[in-house]
Amino acid sequence: MSKIFGGIEGGATGSRMVLIDAQGRRLGFSEGPETNQWLLGLDETVRRLLGLIDGALQDAHLPPLTPISHLGMSLSGVDLEETQQQLISALRAARPDVADTVRICNDALGTYMTLTDDPAVVLIAGTGSICKYIRKDLSFVRVGGYSYLLGDSGGGYYIAHWVISKFIEIEDGMIPWEHNTDTVRKIIYDFFKIRNTLDILPHFYETFNKGHIASLCERLAVAARHGEHLCRDAFHDAGIQLGRHVRACMRHAVKELDPSIKEMLVICCGSIFNSWDLLQAGFREVFSESSSFFQWRGTLNLAWLQISAAYGAARLAARLDAGLTIPCPQQATSLLDRIVLDC
């Protein structure tokens, strides 16, 4: 039987799995709920991962429990090697023959491997956010990604929390605000099904769900496009935060780049980039203020990933565990922006 390479992309709000062959052709695919073990616990995470595997095998018309040759998992919340080994051990305890080899990497590395094998910056902004400059040897510099209490600026939860907290401060008269807040009030009250601001407290302190709160962004984006000032400010600020992530990574990248390299790929992944029209001005503002900061003349090519990073996880497993370079998927991105830095 030909080798089967499996890849799983797991985040805080949803997960996907792909099975591919040595030529990169898709054999099977599945989707499921979030697989972040810090939010779910180890046992439930393993149960969901096995569900993804079973679904992909079924989609590929393969017998149940068919062993995968090499399995790669690109998951959020698994930067520590100890965490990775705990999850692999639990997965093998539940199904010893799940795959010949099992490898776990963080979500940024899976995103990177989906598109390129050359140095690049990866910017992920969904429920949370993280940015990494990844070298050709797969070593990296990390910026952000410390979850909602310590980081995640520019992500969906950040934006929703920004609007809600500012709205409360305006309502309480703590900050001056010259614009009407009726639209924001209705959006927040309708979303949480509340009648007054105090009713929102249980959603943050009793039944807290970070992903659910982050999904408020969809409604806030609609309001922003209709000119709602608080929402527009929130997305502008989020754009600044994401730009700062990339700028911090580029500080490291330019120290290592060959002077002849004049372009850097910035791989953007996550639902927040559906609102790039609202983020763009803030993002660009960061680089218009600091283009001379890098002492590098070149272009940042922002490419928005259009397929699952599960492909990258599978490519990573093939590269590191089978010594095989599987081609990157074709037409996997759309161009978001090109930012020229001219010091």
Quote the pLDDT of residue 291. Answer: 58
Distance of CA 186 to the CA centre of its chain: 29
Q: Give the C-alpha distances (Å, rounded to integers) separating 170 from 163, 182, 200, 315.
A: 10, 12, 16, 49
pLDDT band at residue 119 using 50, 70 and 90 as cut-offs: very high
Edge to edge, the sheet with strand 120-125 lists 140-144, 129-134, 120-125, 263-269, 298-305, 333-341
The predicted model gives 163-175 an average pLDDT of 96
pLDDT band at residue 290 using 50, 70 and 90 as cut-offs: low
pTM for the model stands at 0.88
Q: Which residues have CB under 8 Å from 232's CB, separation 6+?
A: 224, 278
Residue 292 has pLDDT above 70, yes or no: no
Q: How far apart are CA 144 and CA 125, in angstroms?
A: 11
Mean pLDDT of the chain, nearest integer? 92
The predicted model gives 43-66 an average pLDDT of 95
The predicted model gives 314-326 an average pLDDT of 94
Q: How far apart are CA 218 and CA 8, in angstroms?
A: 26
Quote the pLDDT of residue 226. Answer: 98
Inter-residue contact 53 to 17 (CB < 8 Å): yes
pLDDT band at residue 289 using 50, 70 and 90 as cut-offs: confident
Inter-residue contact 313 to 138 (CB < 8 Å): no
Inter-residue contact 68 to 53 (CB < 8 Å): yes
The lowest-confidence range among 20-34, 114-128, 293-307, 309-323 is: 293-307
Q: What is the dihedral of CA 126, 128, 133, 135, to 10 degrees?
A: -70
pLDDT band at residue 36 using 50, 70 and 90 as cut-offs: confident
Inter-residue contact 274 to 221 (CB < 8 Å): yes
Q: How far apart are CA 160 and CA 163, in angstroms?
A: 5
The predicted model gives 76-101 an average pLDDT of 90
* CA proximity to 201, closest of 192, 190, 214: 192
Domains of the chain, each with CATH number or no CATH: 5-115+307-328 (3.30.420.40), 120-256+263-296 (3.30.420.40)
Q: Which residues have CB under 8 Å from 27's CB, separation 6+?
A: 4, 19, 20, 21, 60, 62
Residue 230 has pLDDT above 90, yes or no: yes
Residue 157 has pLDDT above 90, yes or no: yes
- Residue percentage of the chain with pLDDT more than 70: 98
Residue 17 has pLDDT above 70, yes or no: yes
Residue 1 has pLDDT above 70, yes or no: no
